[in-house]
Amino acid sequence: MLIVLLKGLILGLLIAIPIGPIGVLCVQRTLAKGRLSGFISGLGAATADGFYGAVVAFGLMTIIHFLQDQQTTLRLVGGIFLLYTGIKTIYTKPRPPNRYTESGGGLFGDYLSTLFLTIINPTTIISFTALFAGIGIGTFGNNILASVCLVTGVFFGSTLWWLLLCFGVTWMKTRTKNFSLEIINKLSGVIIALFAVVVLLSLIG
């Protein structure tokens, strides 16, 4: 079971590492709102990764087929929400991290937003299926313990990446002169909005 756990850990890292809109959002929140906000945002994505890991590990084909059939709707909803997030980020005025992190509602909103964005991304389930096959993992059927170990590994692998990313970004921030939160907000918002445009344009094709 240790091998299965390690494979899950590797899988979680492989899923989380590619920088997409969620990565940009977590970096922006780490810089603008503090390390805790960035990590909580990453934790939302890790939770979604764990969910998809469970879907594949337990062989829940009904959910997989449903998500594949609803790709158009999911892309539309995800693209609109990404566009809203990008525009909101552009026009958000930076504020001191300690004021933000004192608000539990703010952190909960950070968690829910990345959880939602990752869950409705149809490419996530496709990536999981491909990576499962690529590293020699199939569904475990009735082997509950193996499935739980795999899902646990996926969650902690993804969480580890977000933790490292947030600490790395904070470390770079402390060593950067003339750091401008306003510029970071606008640049991050533009990048996220561009991701949204790409998603929405893919619907035309």
Query: Does the CA dihedral 152-116-135-71 come out positive or negative?
Result: positive
Share of the chain above pLDDT 70, in %: 83
Query: pLDDT tens for residues 16-45?
Result: 888 788 999 999 999 888 889 999 999 999
pLDDT surpassing 80 at residue 1: no
Region of 30 on the Ramachandran plot (φ > 0 left; ψ -120 to 50 alpha; else beta): alpha
State pTM to two decimals: 0.83
The CA distance from 169 to 159, in Å, is 15
Share of the chain above pLDDT 90, in %: 27
pLDDT at position 141? 57
The CA distance from 32 to 92, in Å, is 10
pLDDT at position 134? 64
pLDDT surpassing 70 at residue 185: yes
Task: Please give the backbone phi and psi of residue 136, each rounded to the nearest 5 degrees, phi first.
Answer: 80, 35
The whole-number average pLDDT for the span 198-205 is 82
pLDDT at position 183? 83
Average pLDDT, the chain: 82
With DSSP H G I counted as helix, E B as strand and the rest as coil, what are the percentages for the chain, rounded to 5?
Answer: 85, 0, 15
Q: DSSP assignment, residue 92? A: P
pLDDT at position 55? 81
CA-wise closest residue to 134 among 14, 28, 32, 52? 14
Residue 194: pLDDT band (50, 70, 90) is very high
Query: pLDDT tens for residues 108-149?
Result: 999 999 999 888 876 777 777 677 666 555 555 567 787 888
The whole-number average pLDDT for the span 166-188 is 82
pLDDT surpassing 90 at residue 158: yes
The CA distance from 77 to 57, in Å, is 26
